Every structure is written in structure tokens, then in C-alpha cells.
Amino acid sequence: MKIGVLALQGAFIEHQHMLDRLNVETIDVRLPEQLDAISSLIIPGGESTTIGKLAEAYNFMVPLQQFAQKKPIWGTCAGMIFIAKHLDNHHQPTLGVMDIMVQRNAFGRQVDSFITSLDIPELTTYSPEPFPCVFIRAPAVLDFGPSVQILSRLPDDSIVAVKEKHFLATAFHPELTDDLRFHRFFLDMTINHHKNF
């Protein structure tokens, strides 16, 4: 079992460090051929317009869409934007695979970044405490299709973590914390997906 981290741009090394701590073998994916060797893929935070442009330049779009039909993907922050089917007010290359409408930079310039702890019921199987969520020019989910499960909201009701079948998306950055539970959750999603496939 190997988990890939898309390494075109952004915070991919931090995800690898988290997976290292879980003793999961990782591949930093820089070429479409490498998708064949992995069981699931993390698309990191960074700048979604840059990730989209590089994905087009390196001929990743079609291989990634085919990958998405078969294997789990987790998008964090810019990665959430990149996998969304719909964006509010932005035209940029996206994979368009997860049935969510996402607003980029949903928290405005004044609150560029913030950290807050949120209760995420799905993670309490690992341990009960709230999860530390790091938001950096973060997006939020404005709307979603019937198969989407909401994992977490901010106190103002903004939706910031969602799951749809084998897709996971978080507006915040679990890879910038010490808490391994979200990575463990995605690892379990990957294991279960391949068991049932």
C-alpha cells in the first residue's frame, strides 16, 4: 500500500512527514505514470490556480480524472478547490470530481489565517478530543450534492470538511499539526476502499 502526494506545488512534504509517522510508504507524484503505483492520492494545499495550470502543463488532467473514478483522493485547502465540481466566481482548471461548490478565500483578507479546534465526530474513533484546524486563506463549501457527508462546520456554520464516497476534502491543513488522526482516517478510507473494490 502506497499513498501518493501530488508534488506539483504546495505543502506536499508536510503530508509525507505525517504518512512517514504512520509508517505508510509515500510517493511524491510528479508524473502521470506514477499514479499507477499508488492506492490513493493526497492533493496538498498551495495555490489552486498554479496546481491547475501545472496539472494541465504536465498532462495530468485526464489521468487524474481516470484515477478519481477508481481510487480515493483527499484534497486539503487548494486541493479541495482543485477537486470540486463547482467554484463560486472563479474560472480556473479543476478536476471537477467531487460534488461540492467551493468558495475560494472564503474568510476574506482580514482573517487570512486562524487556528481553531473543531469537534469532528468521525475522528473520535481514534481519540475523543477536538481536532486542531489550521486555516490559511481557506476555502469553504457553499453547496453540495446528495451523496456528500458533512464532517465539520465552523461555529458560523461554514462547512470545512466533507466526504463523498472515496473523496475527502478539508479546507484546513491537518499536515501542519501534530495530530495524525485525519491522515489515519484517510489511510483507513484507502484500506477499506481497496478491500471492497
Backbone angles phi, psi at 56, to 5 degrees: -70, -45
Min separation Cβ 65 and ligand GLN, Å: 19
How many other CB atoms are there within 10 angstroms of residue 177's CB atom? 17
Q: Is 86 a catalytic residue?
A: no
CA gap 143, 138 in Å, rounded: 16
Q: What is the 3-state secondary structure (H, E, C) of 128-193?
A: CCCEEEEEECCCEEEEECCCEEEEEECCCCCEEEEEECCEEEECCCHHHCCCCHHHHHHHHHHHHH
CB burial of residue 37 (10 Å; 0-12, 13-18, 19+): exposed
Rg (CA), the chain: 15
Q: Which residue, chain included where needed, has cell 500500500?
A: 1
Among 7, 35, 78, 140, binds ligand GLN (CB under 6 A): 78
Closer to ligand GLN by CB, 14 or 126: give it. 14
Assess 137 for contact with ligand GLN (CB under 6 A): yes
The answer to whether 50 and 72 are in contact (CB under 8 A) is: no
Q: Which position among 164, 166, 175, 183 bears the catalytic label?
A: 175
Q: Is 47 a catalytic residue?
A: no
Among 104, 163, 166, 184, binds ligand GLN (CB under 6 A): 104
Q: Is 129 a catalytic residue?
A: no
Assess 8 for contact with ligand GLN (CB under 6 A): no
In this chain, which stretch among 13-21, 40-48, 62-70, 120-128 interacts with ligand GLN, using CB under 6 A? 40-48
Min separation Cβ 104 and ligand GLN, Å: 4
Closer to ligand GLN by CB, 6 or 39: give it. 6
Within residues 42-71, the interface with ligand GLN by CB under 6 A covers 45-48
Q: Which position among 77, 133, 164, 183 bears the catalytic label?
A: 77
Q: Name the site residues for ligand GLN (rule: CB under 6 A).
A: 45-48, 77-78, 81, 104-105, 136-137
Give the active site residues: 77, 173, 175
